[in-house]
C-alpha cells in the first residue's frame, strides 16, 4: 500500500510544477516534475516486486500483455520526450513558444494520457496484481485531471497559439480528421 501512496504523491508534484512554471517561477520547484516521475517509477516497481511471489503465471498472457505494455510505454516516452521538435516547440515568438501540431500531437492534444492508461492497463494484465490494476486506474484518472488542468490553464498561458490548437485538435479521443493529420505529418517528417 505504501507504494500506491508514493505513486499518488507524484500528481501533486506535477500540479506544483505547472503552477510554479506560470506563477512562482522558483528554481527550487523546477524539479517537481522529475521527482514525480521518479515516484511513479518507484511506486510501480515496488508494487511489482512486493507482489511477485503471488503472481499467477500464464506464459501466453504474460507475453502478449507484456508486449502491449512495452508498446504503450515506448509510445509514452516518445510522446513526452522525442515527439516535440525542439526548434518549433521552444523557439519563442513574442515571448511564448508555439504549440507542436505534428505527429502524435496532431492526433489529439494529450496523446500521452492514452499511452499512460494503456501502459498501466497492460502492465496490470501482465502481472495480474489487483493492487497494480487499481493503481493504474487511479494514476490514469489523476493523469486525466492533470491534463485537464494543463489544457484549461497551464497551456493557455504557456503557448501563444494554444487556443487555436484547441479548436483544431481533439482533446483526448482522436477523430477521423486528426488521425489523417497525424499520419500525414508523420509521412512528411520521414521524407525530410
High-pLDDT (> 90) share of the chain, %: 80
High-pLDDT (> 70) share of the chain, %: 94
pLDDT computed for residue 147 by the predictor: 98
pLDDT (average), residues 47-61: 87
* Under 8 Å between Cβ of 139 and 116: yes
Alpha helices per DSSP H over the chain: 2-19, 32-51, 59-77, 86-90, 104-107, 111-127, 130-149, 155-158, 162-168, 176-191
pLDDT (average), residues 119-125: 95
> Rounded to the nearest 10 degrees, what angle do helices 130-149 and 111-127 cross at?
170
**Interatomic CA distance for residues 133 and 128, integer angstroms:** 8
**pLDDT tens-digit map of 152-191:** 999 999 999 999 999 999 999 999 999 999 999 999 888 8
pLDDT computed for residue 56 by the predictor: 78
Containing 96, the helix (H) or strand (E) segment is: strand 96-97
* Under 8 Å between Cβ of 108 and 172: yes
92 strand-pairing partners: 97
Domain ranges of the chain: 55-191
pLDDT (average), residues 21-50: 96
Q: Which position has the higher pLDDT, 9 or 56?
A: 9
Tell me the CB-side half-sphere exposure of residue 94, using CA atoms within 13 A: 4
pLDDT computed for residue 90 by the predictor: 46
**Interatomic CA distance for residues 125 and 122, integer angstroms:** 5
Q: List all residues 6 or more positions away from 68 whose beta carbon is below 8 Å from its beta carbon.
A: 118, 122
pLDDT of 35 strictly over 60? yes
Q: How far apart are the first and last CA of the chain?
A: 49
**pLDDT tens-digit map of 56-111:** 788 999 999 999 999 999 999 999 889 986 555 544 555 688 899 999 999 999 99
Residue with cell 516547440: 89
Closest CA to 128 of 188, 178, 72, 54: 54
**Interatomic CA distance for residues 147 and 22, integer angstroms:** 15
Residue with cell 493503481: 135
Amino acid at each position: 500500500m505504501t507504494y500506491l501512496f508514493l505513486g499518488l504523491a507524484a500528481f501533486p508534484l506535477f500540479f506544483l510544477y505547472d503552477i510554479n512554471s506560470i506563477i512562482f517561477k522558483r528554481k527550487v520547484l523546477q524539479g517537481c516534475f522529475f521527482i514525480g516521475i521518479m515516484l511513479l517509477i518507484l511506486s510501480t516497481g515496488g508494487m511489482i516486486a512486493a507482489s511477485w511471489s503471488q503472481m499467477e503465471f500464464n506464459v501466453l498472457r504474460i507475453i502478449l500483455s507484456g508486449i502491449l505494455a512495452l508498446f504503450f510505454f515506448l509510445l509514452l516516452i516518445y510522446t513526452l520526450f522525442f515527439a516535440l521538435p525542439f526548434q518549433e516547440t521552444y523557439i519563442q515568438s513574442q515571448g511564448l513558444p508555439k504549440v507542436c501540431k505534428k505527429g502524435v500531437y496532431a492526433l489529439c492534444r494529450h496523446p500521452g494520457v492514452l499511452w499512460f492508461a494503456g501502459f498501466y492497463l497492460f502492465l496490470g494484465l501482465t502481472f495480474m496484481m489487483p493492487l497494480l490494476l487499481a493503481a493504474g486506474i487511479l494514476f490514469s484518472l489523476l493523469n486525466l485531471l492533470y491534463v485537464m488542468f494543463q489544457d484549461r490553464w497551464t497551456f493557455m498561458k504557456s503557448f501563444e497559439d494554444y487556443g487555436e490548437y484547441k479548436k483544431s485538435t481533439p482533446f483526448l479521443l482522436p477523430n477521423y480528421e486528426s488521425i489523417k493529420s497525424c499520419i500525414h505529418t508523420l509521412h512528411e517528417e520521414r521524407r525530410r
